[in-house]
Chains A and B, each alone.
Chain A
Amino acid sequence: MTDAELAQLQDQLLRYQKRYQREKTARKEAEVLLEQRSRALYDANFELSTVAAQLEKIVEWRMAQLSEALLKAEMAAKAKSEFLAVMSHEIRTPLNGVLGMAELLSHSHLTSEQGDQVATLQECGTSLLALINDILDLSKIDAGKLTLEQRPYNLYALLDSVVNLFVPKAMEAGLRIEWQRPLGSAWLLGDATRLRQITSNLLSNAIKFTHQGDITVTVGIEPLEDTFDMKRLVLVIRDTGIGMTQEQLGKVFTAFEQADSTTTRRYGGTGLGLAICRRLAEAMGGRIDVSSAHGVGSSFSVHWVATEASAPAAETPVVVLPVEPPSSSVAPLSVMVAEDNTVNQKLIIKLLEKLGFRDVMLAGNGRQALERVSQGGVELILMDMQMPEMDGLDATRAIRQLDLDYQPHIIALTANAFDEDRERCQQAGMNDFLSKPVSLERLSMAMQRGSDRLSSQSLPTPAGAADTQASV
């Protein structure tokens, strides 16, 4: 081997050594990097799982907070609706006394000045009652507690009765109501009470804000496209009254707003009526539109859709009973009043006396009523709902369980005005329902109904379950 070859070989060896060293260094560096990456990955994973655990805790805590808040909200809502029910009762009870006594007073011998004063008293009381009803209605709707009935009613007959109700008021104001009634009948499914409320409100407003001219009521029915039995309805109430400006139109359906503040002074009212009407129409799946020209008049139209109903087998005409003088056939009934409030006791007994009922029995609570009824001989009971010791509902249920020769006719007499209360009374076995404040007229009618029912059963009859199902 020459020196040159040896030198080349040495150079080659050196190169290989260097390459080997380079590769080794690179591998080691790669290993270090791999370890660093693994550690970083581990740390990141650990951090993630810690964060996840923390998050879970936070979510758990939030959930607990939320469900607590929900519970609180539900309790508050419940408390609010209970408060409403109690207030409703508490306000109506004394008002009942005021209105009842005023009515009694109006039937007594008064000078014409005193007569005027009593009439004013009655008017004020009545408008206060209307206001309370409106506020209760609005809060009920806002609380989502409004449930609409789906029962058949005859739209034309309903409008007949509402219009008839307002004719005297219109005539008094020198106005004419033109009700363009279509012929025949129009049976629909829906909530007649609420529709009556809307119509009454619009008519009442039309009369209030019109000084001369007419109020026109029209109704249109047409089939809804692509349906079998659905109808599109529009009820229009048009007046020739003071009308509204564009700005006034904008807020006319807002609660507690009236067209303007001077309206409040000149025309009175709370501004709740139209807000309620609008909410009711919306609850019916419809709407109320208004068009108006200042100084020319306004036109309110209610649009909704309803299912056609078949007419009941025998169409019972709507009969508006006149105030009847106490009929002698009613008087012999043995009547009991179950009522804890002394003012109301006094009032109802006075009213009954006016109707010819003497020797009315009195029970201060449900237990006393039950005890007296169990001795027999009670034919008709006017039963307050809320009483100490035993309330009217429990008392009624207990009375219905009694083995009597005949079951008494029980009329709920209560300041609780909600539909649910009416239902609860019916379920407890009561036959009729009178909400306070009760007028002589409504009491007379209820007594007449009780008397008719009792005589149709040719007393005494054995008490039967079916007996309690009678007309409420």
Chain B
Amino acid sequence: MKGVVFTEFLEMVESRFSADMVDDIIEDAGIKSGGAYTAVGSYPFAEMVALVTALSQRSGLEPQALIYTFGHHLFGRFALLYPYSIQGCSSAFMVLGNIEKHIHQEVQKLYPDAQLPQIEVLSSDERSMVLLYSSPRCLAPLASGLIQGALDHFGEQGRIGVEPLNDEGSKVRFVVDLV
């Protein structure tokens, strides 16, 4: 998993909880890297799982909720760090529709080895959009948080329906309705 996800996760933990919480969960997780992440590096996905688990135990919050919050946080950061990714987009739907053909292409330029989820647009009109999320990492809540982040970024109100298509959650359908 790309280092930027780890550095952003720890930043979020620091801002939402505390710097001590960052130290603690790194300690609890017992991870090999010791939490010394750099945005341009790559680290095992298992370390992210361990960090989230540790945060969940320390905070008493569900891992799913934490991941969702992280997704929401991540969209704001991406919009700030990589503004060209959403340049020319005037709505959340435009950004979501651009993920596969534009945003992921930009990511591949910086990180040719990045393993990205597939976000396929199944249908779309002015008020509603149906997306299919596919990833062996089963991070649908992260995607859900990102979608909410996109809606908030453009000041839009919406309802996000999440329909897992299998038990492990590697394929999930999102139905986004503007309200």
A binding-site residues for B, Cβ under 8 Å:
15, 18-19, 21-27, 29-30, 33-34, 37
Bound-state CA distance A33–B2 (Å) is 13
For residue A15, which residues in chain B have a CB less than 8 angstroms away from its CB? 19-20, 23
B78 contacts the other chain (CB 8 A): no
B44 contacts the other chain (CB 8 A): no
Please, which residue of chain A has its CB at the minimum distance from the CB of B42?
A33
A29 → chain B, closest Cβ, in Å?
5
Bound-state CA distance A234–B35 (Å) is 92
A22 touches B34 (CB 8 A): yes
Given A30-B41, A33-B41; A25-B20 close (CB under 8 Å): no
B36 contacts the other chain (CB 8 A): yes
A20 → chain B, closest Cβ, in Å?
11
For residue B40, which residues in chain A have a CB less than 8 angstroms away from its CB? 30, 33-34, 37
Please, which residue of chain B has its CB at the minimum distance from the CB of A30?
B38
Bound-state CA distance A25–B34 (Å) is 9
For residue A37, which residues in chain B have a CB less than 8 angstroms away from its CB? 40
For residue A22, which residues in chain B have a CB less than 8 angstroms away from its CB? 26, 34-36
Q: Known pairs A21-B34, A29-B38, A30-B39. 11 more at Cβ < 8 A?
A: A15-B19, A22-B34, A22-B35, A22-B36, A23-B36, A26-B37, A30-B38, A30-B40, A33-B38, A33-B40, A34-B40
Bound-state CA distance A29–B39 (Å) is 10
Please, which residue of chain B has its CB at the minimum distance from the CB of A23?
B36
Q: Which 7 A-B pairs have the closest CB atoms?
A: A25-B36, A30-B38, A26-B36, A22-B36, A26-B38, A15-B23, A29-B38
For residue B35, which residues in chain A have a CB less than 8 angstroms away from its CB? 22
Bound-state CA distance A10–B71 (Å) is 35
For residue B38, which residues in chain A have a CB less than 8 angstroms away from its CB? 26-27, 29-30, 33
Bound-state CA distance A19–B19 (Å) is 9
Bound-state CA distance A19–B35 (Å) is 9
User: Restricting to B131-157, which residues have a CB under 8 Å from any CB of A?
Assistant: none
B81 → chain A, closest Cβ, in Å?
16
A282 → chain B, closest Cβ, in Å?
50
For residue B36, which residues in chain A have a CB less than 8 angstroms away from its CB? 21-26, 29
For residue A33, which residues in chain B have a CB less than 8 angstroms away from its CB? 38, 40-41
Please, which residue of chain B has its CB at the minimum distance from the CB of A12?
B20
Bound-state CA distance A229–B20 (Å) is 97
